[in-house]
Structure 1
Amino acid sequence: MFISQIPAICSRDVRIAERRRKIMASTGTITVMLIVLTAWLIAVSIFLARMMGRYRRLTSGIKKRDLRELLEHASEKLNEQNASIENLQETLNLLKKDEEDHLQKIGFLRFNPFVDTGGDQSFCLAILDRHNNGIVISSLHSRDQTRLYAKKVLTGKSEGQELSKEEKEAVVRAQKS
């Protein structure tokens, strides 16, 4: 009887070993699935925490946390800011247009027009706007006196009076500045 039970016992042991191998394989699969699910759960938790923080910041200062009221409030604020931006844009455009007429380019040149005086005490000062319109002021210093001259400049050239070489140089320097 004992010998006759050997094939049944061996067959049973083989089946038990087969079941153990399947259980071990499924345990590895289950472990991998648990790790993936844990990582996914952590990612979802972080995302949810961030969203809750944003929601709290969005609803701070509002007594009743009604979504419709919240959206209406945000829409009003957005409309106010858009109107403010439009006003600022209009002001900026006016300032840009007005800026073109402001004197903004300066050219300065010191020189000595007379042989008998020492030092470069005479000068030419050109002050121009964006379109190279403006004035040239010249100061000629001699031993006895100092004289000032002013000439109008339109588009980089004198209107009505000839510019001296020093005055032309001052205008060129102003145009480059």
Structure 2
Amino acid sequence: MQDFLQIFNSISDYIIMALVVIVIILIILVISCMHSSAKLQKRYKKLMRGVEGENLEKIITTYMDKIDEVKEESNEVREIYKNIDERVKKSIQKVAIVRYKAFDNVGSDLSFSLALLDDNDDGVIVTSIYGRDESFTYAKPINKGLSRYDLSEEEKAVLKQVSSKVETK
């Protein structure tokens, strides 16, 4: 036993220094854990803000219900958009007019051809021919950019003009 105490006394300084190093390392670890715990507590408070006695499952269920409502409203809006888009395609989108002098004895360009077409190039060409003694107005239907009636040069020009208009989407 005497030998053991002598050996212990000779290395006691080293044991104390090792224990001091271990204590310092443990203090550093405790400070690091406290810092991590504080960050975690902040995140928890942020997650639970506005919640008074409610559990997390109830909060998540409420948010999932809200998400389902938004999905349903989104689908309704999508259907409304499709209906409006279809209606807009059938409305007049392309307009062109050509004015011209139909007769030599009339002073200015009082005659005209007006093309009114939708997105599918369906519509009408309205032509008004003005003369000193009489005027005529008539319409020719247009289907897919073509007319089943013969078109005058001015009507062909207005149809070409309206067909060359660039569509915007």
TM-score normalised according to structure 1 size: 0.64
Out of 116, 140, 145, the position equivalent to 2:134 is: 145
Does residue 55 in structure 1 map to residue 36 in structure 2? no
Give the Cα separation in 2 of the matches to 1:85 and 1:54: 29
Give the counterpart letter for 1:113 in structure 2. A
Which residue does the alignment assign to 1:10? none
CA deviation profile, 1:1-39 (whole Å, cap 9, x unmatched): xxxxxxxxxxxxxxxxxxxxxxxxxxxxxxxxx9xx99x
Does residue 114 in structure 1 map to residue 103 in structure 2? yes
Give the Cα separation in 2 of the matches to 1:48 and 1:115: 93
Contact 1:112 1:122 in 2 (8 A): yes
Change (3 A) 1:172 1:52: farther
TM-score normalised according to structure 2 size: 0.67
User: What is the 5 A alignment of 1:40-119?
Assistant: 51=43, 54-55=46-47, 59-60=49-50, 62-119=51-108
Which residue does the alignment assign to 2:117? 128
Give the counterpart letter for 1:76 in structure 2. D
Give the Cα separation in 2 of the matches to 1:48 and 1:145: 91
Change (3 A) 1:64 1:169: farther
Change (3 A) 1:55 1:136: same
Secondary structure of the residue that 1:127 maps to in structure 2? strand
Secondary structure of the residue that 1:136 maps to in structure 2? strand
Contact 1:107 1:172 in 2 (8 A): no
Q: Displacement of 1:167 after TM fit? A: 0.7
Does residue 171 in structure 1 map to residue 159 in structure 2? yes
Give the Cα separation in 1 of the matches to 2:132 and 2:46: 79
Secondary structure of the residue that 1:77 maps to in structure 2? helix
Q: Displacement of 1:63 after TM fit? A: 3.9
Q: Which sections of structure 1, spanning at least 5 residues, go unmatched?
A: 1-33
> Which structure dedicates a bigger proportion of its chain to helix?
1
State the superposition RMSD in angstroms.
2.8
Give the Cα separation in 2 of the matches to 1:166 and 1:48: 80
Q: Displacement of 1:68 after TM fit? A: 1.0
Q: Which sections of structure 2, spanning at least 5 residues, go unmatched?
A: 1-27
Secondary structure of the residue that 1:124 maps to in structure 2? strand
